[in-house]
A and B are shown apart, each in its own frame.
Chain A
């Protein structure tokens, strides 16, 4: 008998060690069947009606999303609620439309023609060249974030790519030997790292999705970007347009795919922008402040299950 009991105990242990034990009370939360499929076998003994319903129609479960949603946020790679206020929605929607038309009527046809004429390696070189030229803004951002490593990497990249990379056309520093990667920073991100919130959503004509904080990037980039100092001014603008056409030629189809997949493209882009910036800044903060719990660290702790399950 003793053996039998210990066997039952071990059964539970081997099957269910990864999970909360089945609550002793008879009430068995329905959502368990969703979060703990492995337990279904033992769950069916306790609550046969539930599993019967499961078998007939899995869609028919009550889905207590409120709680499940909380569980996500407690998880290591939490699904954070990233929202951005949008008080200017009507204006923004109009601007979104404007940019959309600008893309489809002007930018895309030109970029397509350009893509047809210039082979991809050349276009990548042009992209590298402009990226190298934009070094001051990234360097300054790294410094302002007290990221000395990043600043040194950027300075090294700039020197190496300018001298050995034929003025930045090639990118030898990101190769395997040197492994100096572009620091993905900008001024708006720096403000974010300092704790400035993103504020609300703005769609600028031509520049696209932004916020008051990230508009600093647009303004700062202007002053820190050597191309802005080309005179006469329209020559500078011409260079910027060329840069944009080149960049677009390398990603034709991306915008279309995103737009095609969206139910409401305006909201889809707003959300993508908010998520993208939020996670960028979070990753940056984690990098600068390794003592703070980063995603990976907490993942390795890996709590058996979120506490909210209780």
Chain B
């Protein structure tokens, strides 16, 4: 009898731990993170131009939690990933993250009064989902979809689709094009230059 009880307890525990997978967790993950970003952008204490650095620092913490940069890099390089050795991969992930951060941080800081609507969660498979959101500005609506993957019990973003254009696919085309004529080392050099110029 005791055995049976233990069995039930174990089953119960397992069920509890597998729940978050199904309970709209990805949508909530995006919602929480985006709302955190909006809070920072609207924080009256950080309104001053000089507070830009602090804001960026705070934003970094959020998106490091939100995005999976390894998955991001892998999916942009796809087949080319195997042409990179371990050191090159590490450097690539690092550089690519900096490129994205520097290009989009300023753009995000421009947003203040826009409304963000979270309207749908579209499961692609049990470990992949697409959270559909909209940014509503005075003159237009911009659909932004976050594609997410479940890794170690946490939903992480691996692609952002803005107005039907997948970020990963866009970079994949660029990297493919560059790697047709160049070696991985040369691509890294291009990225290094871009990061230092920004």
Interface residues of A, Cβ cutoff 8 Å to B: 3-4, 7, 10-11, 14-15, 18-19, 34-38, 40, 57-60, 62-63, 65-66, 69, 75-77, 79, 82-83, 120-121, 123-124, 127, 250, 253, 257, 260-264, 267-268, 270-272, 275-276, 279-280, 283, 295-296, 299, 302-306
- Cα-based distance from A267 to B173 in the complex (angstroms): 7
Q: How large is the interface on B (under 10, 10 to 19, 20 to 34, 35 or more residues)?
A: 35 or more
SS of B interface (majority): helix
Q: What A residues does B125 contact at CB under 8 A?
A: 75-76, 302-306
- Cα-based distance from A157 to B11 in the complex (angstroms): 58
A37 touches B127 (CB 8 A): yes
Q: What A residues does B45 contact at CB under 8 A?
A: none
- Cα-based distance from A302 to B138 in the complex (angstroms): 36
Q: CB-CB contacts of B125-169 with A at 8 A, as 1s and 0s?
A: 111101000000011100000010111110000010001111011
Given that A37-B150, A264-B178 are contacting pairs, would A19 and B126 also be in contact in the complex, using a CB cutoff of 8 Å? yes
Given that A120-B139, A275-B169, A275-B170 are contacting pairs, would A257 and B103 also be in contact in the complex, using a CB cutoff of 8 Å? yes
* Closest-CB distance, B79 to chain A (whole angstroms): 5
B10 touches A11 (CB 8 A): yes
Q: CB-CB contacts of B56-95 with A at 8 A, as 1s and 0s?
A: 0000000000000011001101110110001001100100
A280 touches B127 (CB 8 A): no
* Closest-CB distance, A266 to chain B (whole angstroms): 9
Residues of chain B from 105 to 141 with CB closer than 8 A to chain A in the complex: 106-107, 110, 122-128, 130, 138-140
- Cα-based distance from A35 to B82 in the complex (angstroms): 18
Answer yes or no: B47 CB below 8 A from chain A CBs: no
B177 touches A264 (CB 8 A): yes
B165 touches A272 (CB 8 A): yes
From A11, A34, A127, A305, B126 is in contact (CB under 8 Å) with A305
Given that A15-B14, A261-B99 are contacting pairs, would A66 and B79 also be in contact in the complex, using a CB cutoff of 8 Å? yes
A82 touches B169 (CB 8 A): yes
B82 touches A63 (CB 8 A): yes
Total A-B residue contacts, Cβ distance less than 8 Å:
155
B78 touches A65 (CB 8 A): yes
Q: What A residues does B124 contact at CB under 8 A?
A: 75-77, 299, 302
B10 touches A7 (CB 8 A): yes
Closest to B104 in A: A261
Q: What B residues does A120 contact at CB under 8 A?
A: 138-139
B7, B11, B21, B165 — which one has the most chain A CB atoms within 10 A of its CB? B165
Given that A19-B126, A261-B104, A271-B173 are contacting pairs, would A276 and B165 also be in contact in the complex, using a CB cutoff of 8 Å? yes
* Closest-CB distance, B96 to chain A (whole angstroms): 9
A261, A267, A299 — which one has the most chain B CB atoms within 10 A of its CB? A261
B11 touches A62 (CB 8 A): no
From B93, B104, B164, A275 is in contact (CB under 8 Å) with B164
Closest to A4 in B: B3
Closest to A19 in B: B126
A14 touches B127 (CB 8 A): no
Q: What B residues does A262 contact at CB under 8 A?
A: 170, 174
Q: CB-CB contacts of B175-195 with A at 8 A, as 1s and 0s?
A: 101100000000000110010
